[in-house]
Amino acid sequence: MKKTIISILMFAVGILGVQSLALAVPFTAYVTPQPHILMFGNHPRNFFFDLDADMSQGDINPGDTINSAYLDFLTDDDAPWKDYMDDWYHIYEYARVYVDGNNKGTREINYGTYSYYIRNEANDDHRVNASISCYSGDFYLNGVSIRGDYTDNTPDAPVPEPMTLLLLGPALLGLIGLKRGKV
């Protein structure tokens, strides 16, 4: 019984070889505005990311698949709301975000990072046009980044002839051993 199992395993490894697994690879791209930009009025700031070229981490190629992608805006409020109790302009600060022309919504902005899920926009052509504008109030924009993960779909290199023969050898030995029952 052991001999039969070993023969079958040798045959399977010889014929199939070792398959490479497709794993999710993380990526990141940063843009840091210089300096700390005060956002007020309806003056949009535009950012362009080419995910095939602008990576701080990761090496995305045109044939790769984006599994997840998030656009992050790092913001800072200019002052706590309690200092401006009578000034509505400083209490309620809202930003509007567009990604590839799609309105991603308007949300209140305070200190922190605001993330938008952009997998569909990023997977289309691996290019992302993002803009943020101040809808009301004022705040600082400290940085913009895209993060996520992708699957590397680079085709495997062709198997050279010596490797093919090395894989065929154990397969033939497994078949011969199985036939004779002498593995």
Give residues with Cβ within 8 angstroms of 76, minimum separation 6. 36, 111, 139, 140, 142
* Angle formed at CA 50 by CA 105 and CA 112, multiple of 5 degrees: 40
Cross-strand pairs, 108: 94
What pLDDT does residue 174 have? 76
| Statement: residue 23 has pLDDT above 90 | no
What pLDDT does residue 16 have? 54
Q: What is the pTM of this model?
A: 0.65
For range 142-164, the mean pLDDT = 77
Between residues 94 and 168, the one the model is more confident about: 94
pLDDT > 70 fraction of the chain, expressed in percent and rounded:
70
Positive/negative CA dihedral, 46, 51, 54, 55? positive
